[in-house]
Structure 1
Amino acid sequence: MAADTTPQALVRVYEPEKDQWQALTSMPTPRYGATSFLRGNKIYVLGGRQGKLPVTAFEAFDLEMKSWTHYPCIPSRRAFACCAATERGFFSLGGLQQPCPHNFYSRPHFVSTVEEYNPEQGNQPSPLSSVESYNLVKRRWEYAAPMPSPRCCCAPLQTPNMLFLIGGVAQGPSNAVEALCLRETV
């Protein structure tokens, strides 16, 4: 970021033979705090921030063509997400969900969202169906039954015995309504 904290789009490469930095084509989306991975001849750049707002951009720079490619944006708007690359694809995990600018009473909160993008299939990033719950007595995370309709950004509604997940996003808006029984006796 610049001295005044504005996000930058500058890209530089270090040339050891010349012992100098050379400018490359700027990123399409100015940001800071992004995660990057090298795969083949491409540098993939995921997420980041612009001020206090998370960036959902997912782009790649082709080192041979010297050009940028846009990929589908990360579905969930989160800052400080951990990103990882595997042979299978790219993952965006967890992070801090900021409140909307017009919601003065909401506080940022950490989320356990996990999304995956497989570049070989060219698919949209997709939410996983896995569900974990934190056991306060055992002080650890435990797996629960997976969601029948994988999605993110759904609205939760909790009753004493049930957790309802309503709507959300899964390659577009979802109208799914599902419930997880919180007690085995219900």
Structure 2
Amino acid sequence: MPATATLAHPGHPPTTGVTANPEIAHYGGSWEQLASIAGGPRQEHGVAALNGEVYVVGGIRPDDSGSMTTVTDVEVYHPARDTWEHAAPLPVAMNHPNLAAIGGRLYVLGGLSGGASWEALGDSFVYDPAADRWRELPPMPEGTERGSSAIGVRGSTVYLAGGMRTLTPGPGGLQDTVDLVQSYDVVTGRWRTLPSLPEARDHVGGAVVGKMLYVVGGRDRGQVNVRDSVYALNLITHRWSARAPMPTARGGIATAVVGDTIYAFGGEGNPDDSTSIFDQVEAYDTSRNRWTALAPMPVPRHGTAATSIGGTVYIPGGGDHGGGSPMDVNDAFRPRLR
């Protein structure tokens, strides 16, 4: 199936996309280099695990002029075969999609798209892997449209915390971060508004462990305004509490859960590196409210997402410099469980 693209973004720096060099990346230990994304470099996409496979949905990639293009592409990685294939594309091109896997289907609940400035879309869709087909859902409630939210799933409910309504690429561009929190029940199709985040966040990590929705790190109105805060929403009482902060404040991170531990990878907004990228990997033990610093990423990047299957975390794509710098890198992280 051919790639579908639309909506160029000339505000991003030119890039050609990069493939990891194992001699430079130093794979080993908990890390393994996997087959690169078949469709080429991808960034600001969604990632989710469904039926033992890894789905990469939407995002941006470089076009022939070196600008960034928002795409409808959906690609599927098969861990058992270390291969890729295309799936049915999104009906609407999106970057920063709010993506979740639940009940054997994928749900996209809003995102960003546009030209010189990325604006919120409330468009929502559900994907049936058996039919390889997307079906349109009613849009997000008016006034709540956004992308780049923290996402978590419990039972038949998807939770969205924070996000952003506008992202204007380039220095000084508007970044409209929000503190909205909502839930969407995939069975009833009903949206519910929950207590707002203690602070607005976008490009933030999200995960549900037990009865708690965790919102990890992120940023507030700009790449350099990174945060180390961690908040937890009790999904029974709907009360927020502050948890142990991240060792390294960063936004644009990828997070995934293995057991009771949330792993946070990479990020953007590093003042001590010319690329602006973090290579940090840090693990949060939710039962002990404690963070542990781990060995760094072989290929540091931001603007990606992660998912876990059977104790292995998969991290396809992302950017190796601040702003738009998509890569086709795909790697796996296997925690050394204690």
- What TM-score comes out, normalization by structure 1 length? 0.59
- CA deviations on 1:108-154 (whole Å, 9 max, x unpaired) are 4322111110111232x2223779799xxxxx98xxxxxxxxxxxxx
Q: Secondary structure at the match of 2:151?
A: strand
Residue pair 1:25, 1:67 contacting (<8 A) in 2 also = no
Question: Is 1:11 aligned to residue 134 of structure 2?
Answer: no
Deviation at 1:6, TM superposition (A): 1.2
Is the partner of 2:139 in helix, strand or coil? coil
Structure-to-structure mapping, 1:158-173, within 5 angstroms:
none
Please tell me whether the aligned partners of residues 89 and 119 of structure 1 are also in contact (alpha carbons under 8 angstroms).
yes
Q: Which of 144, 149, 160 matches 1:45?
A: 160
Q: Which has the higher contact order (CA 8 A, sep 6+)?
A: 2
Measured against aligned partners, the alpha-carbon deviations of 1:9-43 in whole angstroms (never above 9, x if no partner) come to 11100123433211112122111112322211111
Percent identity between the aligned chains?
A: 21
Q: 1:74 aligns with which of 194, 197, 202?
A: 197
Q: Quick one: which of 215, 234, 239 aligns to 1:92? A: 215
**Does the 8 A contact of 2:153 with 2:208 survive in 1?**
no
Distance across 2 between alignment mates of 1:35 and 1:96: 12
> Please, what TM-score do these two structures have when normalized by structure 2?
0.34
CA RMSD, Structure 1 to Structure 2 (Å): 2.8
Runs of 4+ in 1 over 4 A off after TM superposition: 129-134
* Corresponding residue of 1:126: 241
Contact 2:158 2:183 in 1 (8 A): yes
Change (3 A) 1:41 1:114: same
Deviation per residue, 1:55-107 (Å, 9 max, x gap): 211111111211101111111122222222110301112222337xxxxxxx9
Alignment gaps of 5+ in structure 2: 1-111, 167-174, 250-291, 294-338
| Aligned partners of 2:216 and 2:229 also within 8 Å | yes
Q: How many residues align?
A: 128
